[in-house]
Chains A and B, each alone.
Chain A
Amino acid sequence: MNCEAARRAIGADPALSTAELEAHLQSCAACSQFREEMRALDAQIRRALERPPDIAPRQVRRERQPWQRWAMAASAVLASFAVLGVWLLRPSDTLAREVVAHVQKEPESWFATQHVSAKEIAHALGGAGVALDLTSEHIMYAQSCWFRGHYVPHLVVQTATGPATVLILRHEHVTARRSFHEAGMSGVIVPAEQGSIAVLARGNEDLGQLAGEMQQDVHWLPER
């Protein structure tokens, strides 16, 4: 057993104790410490789950007076114009920022080291109604993520220069390719047959080729 296998086993079940694992831990102080950390974390998780989650009851909506409804409608119209104005001014900037923010929320995606099963890839793609030519040995991470009101496939593919994140955005339309750099990541959003595709990498990577390949590899199925 090597360190990677030991850590995956411990991470999945910190209470696990097998002869093979114990033999590895005898000779590996770092993994031994890792198990101590994970067991301490698991004790905390147990404590956290002891009580039901603190969920506030949904607020009951009270009936409003007619003038209140008109005031709210007027406010909503004004707010809509304001949001629309901002949206129209810099749409792709906003989209790019949200793409970066989403990827930042899943930092472990960059460190995935095992290929994802075809079933998991199908699950990630299925919610968005897309199919992919890419074979599963290139995909290290595949999730169906909630993004701007829709489930979108969030993939990490292994390239010659390292991992790259791909978000397939069926409902986000852009008119032209847009590159961006933010939070230590470089990225590009390209228009696609339906919607757009965002490709990101850590550092200063040229993602033009990968984005072009993804435009070819993604197939858009009829929306359910």
Chain B
Amino acid sequence: MRNSPPESPVFSIGERPPAADAGAPLTSLFESMRPDLLRFAQWLARDRSIAEDIVQEALLRAWRSREALKDPSAARPWLLTIVRREHARLYERKRLELVPLDELVELQADPRSAEPDDDVYALRHAIMRLPIEYREPLVLQVLGGFTTEEIARELDLSATAVLTRLFRARNKLRVICGLPAAAEVSAVPQP
């Protein structure tokens, strides 16, 4: 569902409740997190407009089920989880329409916009190219701050499977950064 109409409750989330409404602080809280949610969604979706739609839809869902948020200090992980689920839903729907990354996105080639640090620039490119099964747990862990158990619960995987995916994700990024793959590093056997 792209380009939600102006009457969408999410579009007006910051202005809908009257000032005296008890939900007003919550809407402000949600809105304050929008940039963070958008960044998270963009790393998952790799498409700016799809990410915007995901966040829009996620905020709508969050607003509808705001009663479930007992502790406002836990809003960030709660909203990130909703964004992740919204992305998963969209990913399932669009799975067969996926096109190769080269056709979908372009990294900005303008040297003025490039990272001053070449390693970080290469890493950003490499993370974007990680398959979703590796990129998703990595982004959840590093950007979302989720624990292995929380990621496992969210992705419906065993903790071992999550650890394996995180290991493989970092192993791929090691190689991109010119380090030997973990399995190639000479290991000293323990006595």
Contacts and interface: CB of A to CB of B under 8 A. Distances in A.
Contacts of B22: none
Contacts of B127: 45, 48-49, 53
B188 A11 contact: no
B172 A49 contact: no
Interface residues of A, number: 48
A57 B42 CA distance: 12
Contact of A47 (B46, B51, B117, B190): B117
B123 A48 contact: yes
Nearest to A2: B190
A44 B185 CA distance: 20
B171 A24 contact: no
Interface of A: 1-4, 7-9, 11-14, 24, 27-31, 34, 37-38, 41-42, 44-49, 51-58, 107-108, 111-114, 117, 119-120, 143, 145-146
Contacts of B124: 48-49, 51, 53-54
Interface of B: 38-39, 42-43, 46-49, 51, 98, 100, 105-108, 113, 117, 119-120, 123-124, 127-128, 131, 133, 138-139, 141-143, 148, 157-158, 160-164, 166-168, 170-175, 177, 179, 181-190
A175 to B, nearest CB: 27
B119 A44 contact: yes
Contacts of A3: 187-190
Do most interface residues of chain B lie in helix, strand or loop, or is the interface mixed? helix
B173 A45 contact: yes
Contacts of B179: 37, 41
22 contacts: A2-B189, A7-B182, A12-B162, A12-B167, A30-B186, A30-B187, A41-B170, A41-B177, A41-B179, A48-B127, A49-B139, A52-B42, A53-B105, A54-B124, A55-B46, A55-B48, A56-B106, A56-B107, A56-B108, A117-B158, A143-B133, A146-B100
B190 A48 contact: no
Contact of A13 (B107, B148, B174): B148
Contacts of A34: 182, 185
A8 B163 contact: yes
A38 B63 CA distance: 39
Given A3-B190, A28-B188, A119-B161, 11 more contacts: A3-B188, A7-B185, A37-B179, A41-B179, A45-B123, A45-B138, A49-B142, A52-B38, A53-B124, A55-B107, A143-B133
A157 B162 CA distance: 21
A8 B187 contact: no
B8 to A, nearest CB: 22
Contacts of A48: 120, 123-124, 127
B39 A52 contact: yes
Given A29-B188, A55-B42, A120-B161, A11 B166 contact: yes
